[in-house]
Amino acid sequence: MDGMRIDLHTHSNVSDGTETPAGVMAAAKAAGLDVVALTDHDSTAGWDQAAQRAGELGITLVRGTELSARSRGITVHLLSYLQDPSYQELAEMMRRITAARWERAEAMVAKLAAAFPITWEAVAARAGSGRPVGRPHIADELVAQGVAASRSEAFERLLHPRGPYYVRYWSVEAADAVELIRRAGGVPVLAHPGATGRQKIIDDGGIGQMVAAGLAGLEVRHRDNPPDQRKRLAGLAQRHGLLQTGASDYHGTGKPNRLGENLTDQPTLAEIVRQGAIPLVGGDSWAP
């Protein structure tokens, strides 16, 4: 079917989006999407609520996760689609990364608290116990205290990786993460690989290592990949036989990214479904 609107990267307040998983499904329906993936950072806790609401709304849900990883000292984000949520080794990895996120956020807030009115208790409460806390939660508290005007401004001025308040956190080696996602039956796609505005990006050799480990695709069409990077990534995808996806990386009101601003085509989704361990759920707008 032509004109299917498929957006394969969104966040709810299970991680650092501003809407509940059900709210993201409602927003996706309102944006005219046929298929949407929920890909919270290092968590699958939003899946059940999103699946139920997607069913009620008649929109198709791809259950996924955005896993934090590293490649040669660079942080990379790895989307995992349709993995078996009961596969313990991956669930344990997400708990481990979440624990590292909590240590790191507390360390960043300790640095910030020396200069600004911000407390760890307030930031921790914004994330919610056991959930993957991130810099956006710190940003929101800085906004609430009048230190920053918006999440984006807090990132640009105070929270970026080269700033004095940044602290790194432990995460899994990227090629190991690809293998782990495959063992869990998931389909690993490298998120925003050409996001030059954030930090040093992964080079062709780093992507090659992930390909050798079983990488399925590259998120080519993402607002943080500039045109020259999209060209490079499309070339790499062709050379290595990788899928090419497009997505919004929607975070509700937390980022300017709008649902459906970048899309994935239907044959690509069909291939992801073919490779994944669990089915699409929700509305019957589309079945592969």
CA distances from 222 to 25, 191, 208, 246, 279 (A): 20, 8, 20, 6, 25
Q: Does 16 bind ligand AMP (CB under 6 A)?
A: yes
Q: Give which of ligand AMP, Zn ion, Fe ion, none residue 260 binds (C-beta under 5 to 8 Å, depending on kind).
A: none
Residues near 274 by beta carbon (within 8 Å), at least 6 away in sequence = 288
Q: What is the DSSP letter of 246?
A: E
Sketch the per residue contact string, 55 through 84, with Fe ion: x for CB under 5 A, - otherwise: -----------x----------x-------
Residue from 8, 12, 14, 16 binding Zn ion (CB under 5 A): 16
User: Which CB atom, from 63 or from 151, has the smaller least distance to ligand AMP?
Assistant: 151
H or E segment to which residue 212 belongs: helix 204-213
How far from 23 is each of 11, 36, 213, CA to CA, in Å? 11, 12, 35
Query: How near is the Cβ of 9 to Fe ion at its closest, in Å?
Result: 6
**Smaller CB separation from ligand AMP, 137 or 182:** 137
- 249 touching Fe ion, by CB under 5 A: yes
Q: How far is the CB of 113 from ligand AMP (least distance, A)?
A: 17
- N-term to C-term CA, the chain: 11
Q: Which is nearer to Zn ion, 117 or 163 (CB)?
A: 163
Q: Which residues have a Cβ under 8 Å from the Cβ of 206 and sit 6 or more positions away?
A: 71, 72, 74, 76, 174
Q: Which of 150, 158, 99, 85 is nearest to 127 (CA)?
A: 99
Is position 151 an interface residue for ligand AMP (rule: CB under 6 A)? Answer: yes
Of residues 182 through 201, those in contact with Fe ion by CB under 5 A are: 191
Asked if 82 and 57 count as a contact pair (C-beta separation under 8 A), the reply is no
Task: Look at residue 151 and give the partner it binds from Fe ion, ligand AMP, Zn ion, none, a contact being a CB closer than 5 to 8 Å depending on partner kind.
Answer: ligand AMP
Token couple for 115: 């200069």
Binding site for Fe ion (CB under 5 A): 66, 77, 191, 249
* Contacts with ligand AMP, residue ranges (CB under 6 A): 16, 134-136, 151-152, 155, 251, 255
Q: Give the residues lining the site for Zn ion (CB under 5 A).
A: 11, 16
